C-alpha cells in the first residue's frame, strides 16, 4: 500500500459529522461550486434526482426561528406530518448497539448524564439551527421517483460532503429535519409533489468545540466483506 496519503483518502478519512461551526461565511460562489462537483455523482440513466435549497443570512435566521419555536412546542411538534421511515421502527442488534454507542459517546463528551432529558433536548435542538453553520441546506426529491433515485441521492450527498472537505469545509447531514417537515416544506413553499430527503449543515468547523472531538468507529472491511470462492469442480 502507498504510504503517501492520497488526497481522496484524506478527504474521505477527514469527513465527520461536525456539530459546532464558526460564523465564517461561505461565499455563494463556493456553495455553487461544491454543488456542481457533487452533481458529478452518477445516477441511473442520468436522472439527477437532486433539488437543493440553500439558506443563508436572513432566510436562514427566519427558518431557524420557526424551527426552534416548533421544536419547543410539543403540540406543534406532534402536528408535523409523518416523515418517511429513515430509521427502522424496531431496532435490533448490531444496529441498535452502534446507534446507542454514538449517542452515548456524544453525550459523554458533552457531559450529559444518562436520563438528563432536558440536556438531551437542548442538544437535539442544536440540529434546528444547523449547529450555527452559516449555510443550511435542504434536499428534496420528486415523489414520482423510486427507490433507485434515493440511492443516487445518497451518492450526491456523499460527493457534496467530500467536495466540502476538499475545500476545508465541514458538514453534518441531518435527518432531524424530517421531524419538522411541515415547517420546512411550508417555508420553502413546496407542494405535495416534492418530499424532504434531509437537511445538511455546511461551514467551517469550530475546532475548539468539544462535540467536534467525537470520533466514530467502523467495522473492519474484513468483517463486512468477503471474497467469494470459486465453486469446486466447475
Q: Is there binding between residue 149 and ligand FMN (CB under 6 A)?
A: no
* Residue 128: burial class (beta carbons within 10 Å; 0-12, 13-18, 19+): buried
Q: Is the CB of 127 or the CB of 195 nearer to ligand FMN? A: 127
Q: Is the CB of 45 or the CB of 147 nearer to ligand FMN? A: 147
Q: SS3 helix, strand, coil % of the chain, rounded to 5?
A: 50, 15, 40
Helix crossing, 117-125 with 95-110: angle to 10°? Answer: 90
List phi, psi (to 5°) of 11: -65, -40
**CA 70 to each of CA 79, 126, 145, 176: distance values in angstroms, whole numbers, following the listed order:** 10, 13, 30, 13
CB of 75 to ligand FMN, least distance (A): 22
User: CB atoms < 10 A from the CB of 41, how many?
Assistant: 18
CB of 231 to ligand FMN, least distance (A): 37
Rounded-to-integer distance, Cα 35 and Cα 45, Å = 20
Q: Is the CB of 102 or the CB of 219 nearer to ligand FMN? A: 102
Q: Is there binding between residue 176 and ligand FMN (CB under 6 A)?
A: yes
Scan residues 198-217 and list those touching ligand FMN (CB under 6 A).
Answer: 198, 216
From residue 1 to residue 20, what is the string marking binding to ligand FMN with x (rule CB under 6 A)? ---------------xx-x-
CB of 15 to ligand FMN, least distance (A): 7
Cell 478519512 sits on residue: 13
* Residue 73: burial class (beta carbons within 10 Å; 0-12, 13-18, 19+): exposed
Q: Are 198 and 45 in contact (CB under 8 A)?
A: no
Q: Is there binding between residue 43 and ligand FMN (CB under 6 A)?
A: no
Q: Is there binding between residue 127 and ligand FMN (CB under 6 A)?
A: yes
Considering only 3-11, 47-55, 139-147, 168-176, which stretch makes contact with ligand FMN by CB under 6 A? 168-176
Q: Which of 26, 160, 163, 172 binds ligand FMN (CB under 6 A)?
A: 172
Which residue is closest to ligand FMN by CB?
Answer: 176
Q: Is the CB of 28 or the CB of 108 nearer to ligand FMN? A: 108
Q: Is there binding between residue 136 and ligand FMN (CB under 6 A)?
A: no
Which residues are CB-contacts of 182 (< 8 A; sequence separation ≥ 6)? 70, 79, 80, 81
* Binding residues for ligand FMN (CB under 6 A): 16-17, 19, 102, 127, 172-176, 198, 216
Amino acid at each position: 500500500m502507498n504510504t503517501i496519503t492520497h488526497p481522496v483518502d484524506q478527504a474521505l478519512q477527514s469527513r465527520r459529522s461536525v456539530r459546532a461551526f464558526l460564523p465564517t461565511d461561505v461565499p455563494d460562489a463556493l456553495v455553487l461550486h461544491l454543488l456542481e462537483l457533487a452533481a458529478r455523482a452518477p445516477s441511473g440513466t442520468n436522472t439527477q434526482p437532486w433539488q437543493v435549497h440553500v439558506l443563508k443570512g436572513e432566510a436562514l435566521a427566519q427558518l431557524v426561528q420557526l424551527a426552534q419555536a416548533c421544536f419547543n412546542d410539543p403540540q406543534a411538534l406532534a402536528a408535523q406530518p409523518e416523515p418517511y421511515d429513515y430509521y427502522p421502527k424496531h431496532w435490533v442488534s448490531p444496529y441498535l448497539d452502534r446507534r446507542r454507542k454514538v449517542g452515548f459517546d456524544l453525550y459523554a463528551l458533552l457531559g450529559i448524564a444518562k436520563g438528563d432529558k432536558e440536556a438531551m433536548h437542548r442538544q437535539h435542538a442544536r440540529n434546528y439551527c444547523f449547529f450555527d453553520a452559516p449555510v443550511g441546506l435542504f434536499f428534496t426529491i420528486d415523489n414520482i421517483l423510486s427507490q433507485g433515485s434515493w440511492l443516487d441521492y445518497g451518492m450526491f450527498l456523499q460527493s457534496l460532503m467530500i467536495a466540502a472537505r476538499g475545500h476545508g469545509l465541514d458538514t453534518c447531514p441531518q435527518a432531524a429535519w424530517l421531524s419538522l417537515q411541515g415547517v420546512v416544506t411550508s417555508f420553502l413553499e413546496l407542494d405535495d409533489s416534492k418530499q424532504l430527503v434531509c437537511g445538511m449543515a455546511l461551514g467551517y468547523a469550530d475546532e475548539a468545540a468539544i462535540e467536534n472531538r467525537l470520533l466514530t468507529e467502523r467495522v473492519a472491511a474484513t468483517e463486512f466483506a468477503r471474497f467469494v470462492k470459486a465453486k469446486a469442480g466447475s
